[in-house]
């Protein structure tokens, strides 16, 4: 059981690092936003394993949910404005 947990957590940590690299280096903006949301989601799984469900819920709701939507709304907003300025 202990080894299974260790393997699972290491895999999650690896995926988190890959997502972090993707968020920084990706040329596609939506992909970078989704990657940073995925980091928050995986962090919330870590909090859940560390027996703090309240913090896990905060992380999932704010980090993965709200921030991702905020970034998408702003991304759309800035793209719209740059189109308007080009005209």
Alpha helices in 1-87 (DSSP H): 2-25, 29-49, 53-58, 67-86
Q: Could you give the CA distance from residue 47 to residue 34 in angstroms, rounded to a whole number?
A: 20
Mapped onto helix, strand or coil, the DSSP state of residue 52 is coil
Shortest distance (Å) from residue 76 CB to other proteins: 7
Q: Which stretch binds other proteins (CB under 8 A): 13-21, 23-31, 33-41, 50-58?
A: 50-58
CB of 58 to other proteins, least distance (A): 5
Query: Interacting stretch for other proteins, rule CB under 8 A, among 1-9, 10-18, 30-38, 69-77?
Result: 69-77
């Amino acid at each position: 059981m202990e080894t299974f947990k260790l393997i699972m957590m290491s895999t999650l940590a690896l995926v988190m690092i890959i997502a972090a690299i993707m968020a920084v280096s990706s040329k596609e903006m939506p992909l970078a936003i989704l990657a940073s949301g995925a980091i928050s989601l995986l962090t919330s799984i870590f909090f859940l394993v560390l027996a703090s469900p309240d913090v896990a819920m905060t992380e999932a709701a704010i980090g993965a949910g709200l921030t991702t939507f905020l970034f998408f709304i702003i991304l759309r907003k800035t793209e719209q404005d740059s189109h308007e300025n080009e005209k």
